[in-house]
Amino acid sequence: MSENQTSDIATLDCEYERNRMKRIMESSKEATNKMSSDVKESIITPSNVFENLACKFQQLQKSDVDSRDRYRQGIVLCNELIDSIATATIGDADAYRICLKLFSKVIEEFRFGIITNDEKLLEREIFFAFLDLLSKREICTYLNDDQCTTMPQKEFYEFLTNVLLNISSSNVGCICFTSDDAATRKYTDTFYTMWKRVERNVHFINQTEQKLPVIDSTANYIRHFFWNLCDRTVVVPWLLNNGVVKIILECLKTLTLSSEKDEDIAAIIYNISRHDDGADELNKLDGLRILKDIQSNKTEDLNDFKNLRISMIIAHLSTVEQIRSDNKRKNRILNNLLQMTIDAAETQDHRNYRGFHVSEPLAVFTKLFVDDLSLEYVLNHAETDPQLTLSATIALFVNLFIEFRGAFAVEDPLKQFTCTALLNILWSISFQDRYKAKLKENNDLLKTIKSLAMDNDEKIVDRYVPRSMESMRNAANGILYNLNVTSDNKKDAKSDIPIVSNTDNGKPMIMISYAHDNDQFCDKILMELEKSQDLFRIWIDRNHCSSSEDLWEKIARGIGQAKLVVCLLSQDYFNSKSCRKEASFAIKRKKPIVPIYFGEPGDCDWLDIHIADRKYIRFKTNKPELDDVKVQEMLRTIEATIKEAQEQSSYPQQIEQHSVPAQPRKEIEKIQSTTVDVKKTPEEWTRNDIQKWFYSRNVPDTLLKLFDFQSFAEMNQYALKLQANPKNEFFKYGQRYAKAHAGDELEEYIFDRFKNALLELPVNRSDTMKLSTPSSKPSSSNSSTCTIS
């Protein structure tokens, strides 16, 4: 939402509503006085079609009936008014004006009464009654092609349609929509017809090259109505899968973004992008490219505010990986989002000077903060006025959360959404070890989070929540777990309670961790794993949701009792804080992880470092069935990992004391034969020394043969290129590898060995001696080498 438009889901105060209705009355009066004099003179004989209706409106105005009955009778009379226009003449203008004035007066009085008494169900009834009036055949005919509507009917329809749109636009911010409302398709044809009218108006403007004044007041009212309607994110699905979004995008492409019309349309697209389904449809229609092109090619039409709105749309449409790859744009977006948060936090209504509510930048943060680098930038490097320190930035989010904590004690959807977003942001922060102390030292924060985690009496409003946000209670419990605030004794005690049948005690158990958005892929993997249930048991959360016990406690026990955890990795998994919680718990418990990739999800900083040395399996997303070769590879890897875990558990004392098992003689000889000559400086290495360097790091010949390094300088030069774009190099040499080896796939972990061997090159003889000395200790992620930079 932006610029003084109605709040996303805020309740407007009574004074604002009274002023708004006065403006509606004034616009109605102005509209009815606009009839051209030549038309009036050409039709002087009234049909008296509105006389009877005007009397009924006057009687209704003077009656003592209940305000609800007065409103409902007013709707019935308005319906009759629409039906009567077809036979009206210009001579009926005065009676028509009286009808409209009295109808607006009835609605104004009724609106004031229900706002004062907080009668939300009646507000809904008004809004949907107006949508029904706008959906009448006569109105849609006028909207579809007013050129075919005769005079004076055209003007009568125009005036009435504008009044209905204006009142609806004013009221929509007060309506309590539910998730069930999003599914209705009742008004699909009406909305499509409205946008076809806007499209015709835009095309007419372009064809005349704006040399002539083009005034279509109905098109203007339509745009303003949809600006406010789409600000209610829950009902954005009303505009999807019906051609409306395509029309809106086409209108945006053809306009200059320098007029009020263009700004309205950009605001509507922004509001659509705030809904996940809306963002998906915009992306299907190439919306991301269109918006980036506008930002790049129409800079002269974009002031700072318009540029900011385009940037926020781009953030909603982009994946975390796409935003991360465009570092310059990413930092600019993050700077703007934090500045918006700072400005909105300082106002009483939590809106910045442009009208954006604080929840809007916070919602984008919940999506971007699954990327630790984005979180790190905002907390430590974002450029704002005033410039915030790390402590001040964390305090900004904490203080806002404390301020909105009461949202769940009352039925205020906007406040609840804001509070939930803040909890998700604090959850992301709590995953970072270096920031945990700053959160734990705030006793008010911990007390508040504990109350939300345990309180079952909260009045949670049924409303839309984006995929990037998890529920209030999940986020609160996630923060407490990360901060180790929940009693460890309670968790440890429960982890010993059996969660599966004891009839298969002899079999090891594996736990499956997955994102629920990948249910279909999980079903396929589960089906294959169940074929090997003679070798192991399977624990998956979907089989343990029937009781009232906390699901996370069950998951924690499942991980605790499993021999290994199979992680089904995808971008959805990386973006899920619940999945991160599961994986972090498994790592903390030192459980072996078998990574199963679904497609090409990209890098994941918080997980990659823990599974870099693990054998993984990758299934492609474009195949309806799982690759049987990969399935067998997965089963072999699971069996080998179970065996390794069982062997380690058989020698707990040796592992605890870090004792080193004796190495077979052949293995020692192999290490000696691949040791680099320590008497040479790296610059003196021959091709044989280079080969030994890679052999000492277990890089196979099949990969080395794709390269032909002749000197240390060539290795260094390629290392710089590889460090700059490792994904591109992996893709390029993956293709060459497949071509050289009859279509075999180059495994990423093998290429990572090769990459690490290059990035850990020594810089002098002493480094060569350190790196070439055989060691039985496991390799550490903290290398003593000089990293290429």
Distance, in Å, from the CA atom of 183 to the CA atom of 186, rounded to the nearest integer, reads: 9
Q: Is residue 427 part of a domain?
A: no
Answer yes or no: do 727 and 636 share one domain. Answer: no
- Distant-in-sequence, close-in-space partners of 325: CB < 8 Å, separation ≥ 6: none
3-state secondary structure 527-573: HHHHCCCCCCEEECHHHCCCCCCCHHHHHHHHHHHCCEEEEEECHHH
pLDDT at 766: 55
Q: Which of 112, 144, 176 finishes a domain?
A: 176
Average pLDDT of span 412-434:
92
Distance, in Å, from the CA atom of 450 to the CA atom of 307, rounded to the nearest integer, reads: 40
- Distant-in-sequence, close-in-space partners of 12: CB < 8 Å, separation ≥ 6: 6, 20, 115, 173, 174
Burial letters for 508-533: b for 16+ Cβ neighbours within 10 Å, e otherwise?
bbbbbbbbeebeebbebbbeebeeee
- Lowest average pLDDT, out of 95-104, 344-353, 433-442, goes to 95-104
Domain region containing 705:
669-772
- Asked whether residue 497 carries a pLDDT value surpassing 50, the answer given is no
Answer yes or no: do 601 and 625 share one domain. Answer: yes
Q: What is the pLDDT of residues 505-518, one digit of tens each?
A: 678 999 999 998 89
Tokens of 169: 């636009």
Band of the pLDDT at 768, cuts 50, 70, 90? low
pLDDT at 787: 38
For the chain, the average pLDDT equals: 79
- Asked whether residue 167 carries a pLDDT value surpassing 60, the answer given is yes
How many CB atoms sit inside 10 A of residue 215's CB?
A: 8
- Lowest average pLDDT, out of 457-471, 508-522, 686-700, goes to 457-471
Evaluate whether 462 touches 416 at the Cβ level (below 8 Å).
no
Answer yes or no: do 632 and 768 share one domain. Answer: no
Burial letters for 382-403: b for 16+ Cβ neighbours within 10 Å, e otherwise?
bebeeebeeeebbebbbbbbbb
pLDDT at 773: 45
- Asked whether residue 298 carries a pLDDT value surpassing 90, the answer given is no
Answer yes or no: do 23 and 170 share one domain. Answer: yes
More confident residue, 739 or 774: 739
Q: Is residue 265 part of a domain?
A: no
Evaluate whether 201 touches 216 at the Cβ level (below 8 Å).
yes
Query: How far is CA 276 from each of CA 43, 271, 351, 598, rounded to the nearest angstrom?
Result: 53, 11, 23, 21
More confident residue, 661 or 107: 107
Q: Is residue 708 part of a domain?
A: yes
- Asked whether residue 460 carries a pLDDT value surpassing 70, the answer given is no
- Distant-in-sequence, close-in-space partners of 306: CB < 8 Å, separation ≥ 6: 257, 263, 266
Band of the pLDDT at 556, cuts 50, 70, 90? confident
Evaluate whether 492 touches 589 at the Cβ level (below 8 Å).
no
Q: Which of 600, 632, 656 finishes a domain?
A: 656
Answer yes or no: do 647 and 766 share one domain. Answer: no
| Residue 619 one-letter amino acid | F
Evaluate whether 466 touches 275 at the Cβ level (below 8 Å).
yes
Distance, in Å, from the CA atom of 589 to the CA atom of 585, rounded to the nearest integer, reads: 6
- Distant-in-sequence, close-in-space partners of 665: CB < 8 Å, separation ≥ 6: none
Answer yes or no: do 748 and 695 share one domain. Answer: yes
- Asked whether residue 484 carries a pLDDT value surpassing 50, the answer given is yes
Peptide bond into 152 cis (omega under 30): yes
Evaluate whether 245 touches 239 at the Cβ level (below 8 Å).
yes
Distance, in Å, from the CA atom of 188 to the CA atom of 663, rounded to the nearest integer, reads: 73
- Asked whether residue 430 carries a pLDDT value surpassing 80, the answer given is yes
Average pLDDT of span 26-31:
48
pLDDT at 395: 96
More confident residue, 101 or 630: 630
Answer yes or no: do 640 and 553 share one domain. Answer: yes
Evaluate whether 336 touches 310 at the Cβ level (below 8 Å).
no
Closest Cα to residue 358, out of 331, 409, 397? 397
pLDDT at 45: 57
Average pLDDT of span 197-226:
79
Band of the pLDDT at 2, cuts 50, 70, 90? very low
Angle at 220 between CA 254 and CA 297, to 5 degrees: 25
- Lowest average pLDDT, out of 192-196, 326-330, 518-522, 775-779, goes to 775-779
pLDDT at 692: 85
pLDDT at 496: 47
Evaluate whether 540 touches 548 at the Cβ level (below 8 Å).
no
pLDDT at 72: 84
- Distant-in-sequence, close-in-space partners of 264: CB < 8 Å, separation ≥ 6: 223, 224, 227
DSSP symbol at 90? G
Distance, in Å, from the CA atom of 584 to the CA atom of 221, rounded to the nearest integer, reads: 52
Q: How many domains does the chain have?
A: 3
DSSP symbol at 371? S
pLDDT at 679: 72
- Lowest average pLDDT, out of 77-91, 248-262, 665-679, 743-757, goes to 665-679
Element spanning 666, H or E: helix 665-673
Closest Cα to residue 573, out of 609, 556, 549, 597? 597
Band of the pLDDT at 47, cuts 50, 70, 90? low
Query: How far is CA 181 from each of CA 143, 406, 461, rounded to the nearest angstrom?
Result: 25, 26, 14
Q: Is residue 410 part of a domain?
A: no
Task: Please count the CA atoms within 13 angstroms of the CA of 592 that sit on its side-chain side.
Answer: 23
pLDDT at 69: 82
pLDDT at 384: 95
Tokens of 591: 């459980």
pLDDT at 764: 62
Q: Which of 631, 656, 681 finishes a domain?
A: 656
Average pLDDT of span 676-701:
82
Dihedral sign computed on CA atoms, order 279, 285, 286, 290: negative
Average pLDDT of span 148-158:
74
Distance, in Å, from the CA atom of 697 to the CA atom of 691, rounded to the nearest integer, reads: 10
Band of the pLDDT at 110, cuts 50, 70, 90? low
Q: Is residue 304 part of a domain?
A: no
Average pLDDT of span 647-660:
50
Band of the pLDDT at 28, cuts 50, 70, 90? very low
pLDDT at 461: 55
Average pLDDT of span 629-657:
77
More confident residue, 119 or 426: 426
Cα-based torsion angle of the residue sequence 771, 773, 778, 779 in order, rounded to the nearest 10 degrees: 10
pLDDT at 366: 94
pLDDT at 493: 40
R_g over Cα of the chain = 33
- Asked whether residue 27 carries a pLDDT value surpassing 80, the answer given is no
More confident residue, 40 or 176: 176
How many CB atoms sit inside 10 A of residue 341's CB?
A: 27
Answer yes or no: do 609 and 738 share one domain. Answer: no
- Asked whether residue 570 carries a pLDDT value surpassing 80, the answer given is yes
Q: Is residue 640 part of a domain?
A: yes
- Asked whether residue 653 carries a pLDDT value surpassing 60, the answer given is no
User: DSSP states of 699-712 as a string?
Assistant: --HHHHTT----SH
Answer yes or no: do 519 and 645 share one domain. Answer: yes
- Distant-in-sequence, close-in-space partners of 342: CB < 8 Å, separation ≥ 6: 384, 386, 388, 396
Distance, in Å, from the CA atom of 519 to the CA atom of 784, rounded to the nearest integer, reads: 43
Tokens of 419: 């509070």
Beta bridge partners of 538: 510
Q: Residue holding tokens 């442009």?
A: 354
Distance, in Å, from the CA atom of 405 to the CA atom of 407, rounded to the nearest integer, reads: 5
Dihedral sign computed on CA atoms, order 314, 317, 320, 321: negative
Distance, in Å, from the CA atom of 209 to the CA atom of 28, rounded to the nearest integer, reads: 31
Coil, helix or strand at residue 388: coil
Average pLDDT of span 551-575:
89
Tokens of 268: 């509507």
368: left (phi over 0), alpha (psi -120 to 50) or beta: alpha
Tokens of 278: 């809306």
Measured in residues, the chain has a length of 789
Average pLDDT of span 576-582:
91
Answer yes or no: do 559 and 696 share one domain. Answer: no
Band of the pLDDT at 241, cuts 50, 70, 90? very high
Evaluate whether 110 touches 67 at the Cβ level (below 8 Å).
yes
Answer yes or no: do 561 and 710 share one domain. Answer: no
Answer yes or no: do 71 and 151 share one domain. Answer: yes
Burial class (CB in 10 A: 0-12, 13-18, 19+), 468: buried
Q: Is residue 782 part of a domain?
A: no
Q: Is residue 650 part of a domain?
A: yes
Element spanning 513, H or E: strand 509-513
pLDDT at 676: 64
Evaluate whether 783 touches 760 at the Cβ level (below 8 Å).
yes
Coil, helix or strand at residue 53: helix
Average pLDDT of span 564-572:
93
- Distant-in-sequence, close-in-space partners of 209: CB < 8 Å, separation ≥ 6: none
Distance, in Å, from the CA atom of 255 to the CA atom of 286, rounded to the nearest integer, reads: 17
Q: What is the pTM of this model?
A: 0.70
pLDDT at 657: 37
